[in-house]
Amino acid sequence: MADVRRIEEGDDGDRHLRHDTGHRDRPDGRVLPVDVREAGGEVALVPVELRWYAIQTTAGHENKVRSLIARRIGEDARAEAEKPIRQALVPTQEVVEIKNGKKVNVERKIYPGYVLVEMDLNQETIHTINGIQGVIKFVGTDRLPMPLRPDEVNRLLGIEEAIKEEEPAEAIPFLVGQVVEITEGPFSDFSGTVQEVLPDKGKVRVSVALFGRPTSVELDYLQLKAH
């Protein structure tokens, strides 16, 4: 059975959270977790939606944060299918570097300073993640965590919808919603927010403030660095 959270009001007027079980059937026959909230005697069913989110961490503490999140998941007594936080990931890739005149394969973080978390976004999960040592904030706009697009998740997890014969797209180490600094070109020393990542072109669309107004510019990702 899936996780259902029922908000009840006690005799003293305090609201508290109780876990129960329930489910919601989809037209295609699949069963999804649901969030049941009781208000005014009526029950509202809200499907629990698992999405991937990026969180900014203290530099060099990505793996520690991932381990702490994994520990919290393990301490959650609910069944695996009912847990609102499912997994944490530090995306890496193998690259070739020259060390002492020799080529060596090393594993490098794709997004230094960030950890990806698969979870259902609600007050409980936001509070849990923000309370973990080393976490700075969720990536998003207007203080609202922004989920990663499915194509970003598929690329990071190594999932391909179809086998392509073309050269693989370049891994661009920036996320939508991330604040970056422009290091080269006419907008050098400007700061902006990533609007879109274009891996096929090796470019990033960034919003910068020009004359007090937000302006979208397309830049080579090598012209940017994390703020």
pLDDT at residue number 27? 42
pLDDT in tens, 114-165: 999 999 999 999 999 999 999 999 998 767 899 998 888 887 777 544 434 4
Q: How many CA atoms lie within 13 A of 144 on its CB side?
A: 4
pLDDT under 70: residue ranges of the chain:
1-48, 96-98, 101, 142, 159-170
The per-residue DSSP string of 99-143 comes to ETTEEEEEEEESSTTEEEEEEE-SHHHHHHHHTSTTEEEESEETT
Residue 94: in which H helix or E strand, if any? strand 92-99
Domain with CATH 3.30.70.940 in the chain: 50-157
| Residue 207 tokens, joined | 């919003």
Q: What does CATH list as the number for 179-226?
A: 2.30.30.30
Give the CATH number of domain 50-157: 3.30.70.940
Distance (Å, rounded) from C-alpha 39 to C-alpha 7?
8
> Residues of CATH 2.30.30.30 domain(s) within the chain?
179-226
